[in-house]
Amino acid sequence: MTKIALVRFDSGRHDRTAFERDRREFLAPLGKEFELLEIVPGAKAQADLQVRRQGEPVEIVHGRPRFILARLQELARFQAARRVLSGRIGVIGKPSDWLIGSGIDRAAVRRRWGTRFVDIGLEELTRRHRGNAEAVAIAREFTSRAQGMSGVDEPALRAAARLVPALRIIFARHRLQAATVRCFSLIEALDTSGCLALSRLNDEGRVCGCEGDMPAAFSMLLIFALTGEVPFLANPAEVDAERNQVVMAHCTVPGRMVTGYRLQPHFETGLGVALCGAFAPGPATVFKVGGPDLESYFVSPAEVLPGRPRPGLCRTQVRLQLQERAGYFLRAPLANHHVVARGDHARRIDDFMRTCGARRILD
């Protein structure tokens, strides 16, 4: 049950009987939904909602009981997401050299969000890339669920699957909430890609992005913490500003986001194993956080449109009808990588980001 810390302030000059009666009537419906903790001013409490000191973002919640209950639940969700974001994000290998808009001021990010980016050498991952029974089982599971395979075989699947337990160990050893991997260097070192492993890690709730992109990993963690939906990190591969559509594509889609998938090699290199997944029609959300201290963001509701994968693009492709103007991707993008999630969460994300003092970017 959500815990709310209550601090009582009064002038001491009111009718005490009337004051206590009104207070009980006001708190009665809240007590049915929340655990109310009475504390004295200045005291600390293990609560989901509490204004701890002057200077923190606050909101006056006022209205009918039903509105107050719903709003307090939402604010508790926001606080829980902030706690997740104040964890550690591993940067496994350096960011890829070609990334656009991936530079951040780590100290400023930590002041704003509490997030700590932790540098982890790529060799820590590559030296754990060893054959084991768990990797064989993971490879067989992917094979059994795939709707087909082209260009990959069992040895390639086992090599790609070995990265799954290796990444799990790194998550546990470094106490990570999320990670991003310089995946193209994995291909150079191991002749396999991280696509299959990142897909599996995200399916397990271990948020993991690629190319060492720190703002993208943060965006993935934020949307997962706030909505519970696993994120798909992708690039805008086609932008139709006239029809307000964008095609997002990448090789690392989580299996539980799609209705089915085929197994193919990584698009750019022809090595490793990637997923070519199919999205079901329905609502979606496009999101990205950027800026030196991750203070700016873009968010738009979207609708998944029918379509078939085309050659010449990353394996998983999804065409989206945006509510915000697709010209954003041409004139004011925060970066190339963006995050796609199932369901329309734009209003909640916008509310959360505004509560945190972030700035929304529009075309």
- The verdict on 44 and 141 lying in the same domain is no
**71 within a domain of the structure (yes/no):** no
pTM score, whole prediction: 0.90
Whole-angstrom distance, CA of residue 186 vs CA of residue 188? 5
Task: Give the position of tokens 């999804």.
Answer: 318
Contacts 24+ apart (CB under 8 A), 299-305: 299/324, 299/346, 299/349, 299/350, 299/353, 299/360, 300/324, 300/328, 300/346, 301/344, 301/346, 302/340, 304/279, 304/280, 305/245, 305/281
Is there a domain that residue 68 lies in? no
Q: Lowest-confidence range among 8-22, 170-184, 224-238?
A: 8-22
Instruction: Verify that 34 and 177 share a domain, yes or no.
Output: no
Question: Do 183 and 131 reside in the same domain of the chain?
Answer: yes
125 and 252, same domain (yes or no): yes
- On whether both 57 and 144 belong to a single domain, the answer is no
Question: Per the domain annotation, does 74 fall within a domain?
Answer: no
Phi then psi for residue 313, to 5 deg, are -130, 165
Are 49 and 72 contacting, i.e. CB atoms less than 8 angstroms apart? Answer: yes
Closest Cα partner for 33 from 71, 60, 78?
Answer: 71
Pair 285, 201 in one domain: yes
Most confident of 141-155, 190-204, 215-229: 215-229
Q: How many domains does the chain have?
A: 2
Q: What is the pLDDT of residue 316?
A: 87
According to DSSP, the β-strands at 176-181 and 88-92 are parallel
In tens, the pLDDT along 49-91 reads: 776 555 566 788 888 878 888 888 899 899 999 999 999 999 9
Containing structural domain, residue 44 = 3-63
Same domain for 54 and 113, yes or no, is no
**185 and 316 housed in the same domain:** yes
Dump the DSSP string for 138-169. HHHHHHHH-S-BSS--HHHHHHHHTHHHHHHH
User: Looking at the predicted structure, is the pLDDT value of residue 336 above 60?
Assistant: yes
CB-based contacts of 65, cutoff 8 Å, min separation 6 = 29, 30
The per-residue pLDDT for range 215-230, each reduced to its tens digit, is 999 999 999 999 999 9
184-211 mean pLDDT: 89
The CATH number of whichever domain residue 355 belongs to comes to 3.20.14
93 shares a domain with 30: no
Q: Are residues 48 and 110 in the same domain?
A: no
- Residue 58 and residue 182 in one domain: no
131 contacts 137 by C-beta, under 8 angstroms: no
**Is 81 part of a structural domain of the chain?**
no
The answer on pLDDT for 363 being more than 90 is no
In a domain, 15, yes or no: yes
Residues 6+ apart with CB under 8 A from 292: 103, 104, 105, 108
pLDDT over 90, % of the chain: 56
Which backbone phi and psi does 332 adopt, to 5 degrees?
A: -145, 35
Same domain, 57 and 92: no
Assess if residue 134 is contained within a domain: yes
| Residue 287 burial by Cβ neighbours in a 10 Å radius (0-12, 13-18, 19+) | buried
